[in-house]
């Protein structure tokens, strides 16, 4: 865990953020600044700063993030209507919190 990382604090339970899903590797919670009616964040518990910091050993966590997004889309009733998955990479790509996370957004027509 990075001491100053907000998502590390959230994932380790140091905040009162309610989880919609949690397992050994990931947590899922609602974005506090949603860009769609359904806007969830899928976050690894282990600190990975950015896509640029992924290693070959991280294949499993990425697959688990995608499969969890599929599960959450069904749970949030946006699986049939459609949803967007987005990972921002570095400041120029819109990354604001430097802990890898996957946005799941749905419930509106883009």
So which residues are the catalytic ones?
Answer: 101
31, 39 Cβ separation under 8 angstroms: yes
The H or E element spanning position 43 is strand 38-44
How many residues appear in the chain? Answer: 110
Number of H helices, E strands in the chain: 2, 5
């Amino acid at each position: 865990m990075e001491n100053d990382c907000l998502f590390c604090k959230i994932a380790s339970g140091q905040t009162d953020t309610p989880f919609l899903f949690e397992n050994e590797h990931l947590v899922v919670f609602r974005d506090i600044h949603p860009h769609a009616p359904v806007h969830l964040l899928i976050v690894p518990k282990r600190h990975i700063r950015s896509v640029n910091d992924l290693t070959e050993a991280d294949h499993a966590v990425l697959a688990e993030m995608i499969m969890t997004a599929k599960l959450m889309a069904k749970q949030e009733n946006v699986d049939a209507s459609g949803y967007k998955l987005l990972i921002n990479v570095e400041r120029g790509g819109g990354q604001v919190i430097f802990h890898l996370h996957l946005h799941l957004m749905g419930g509106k027509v883009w």
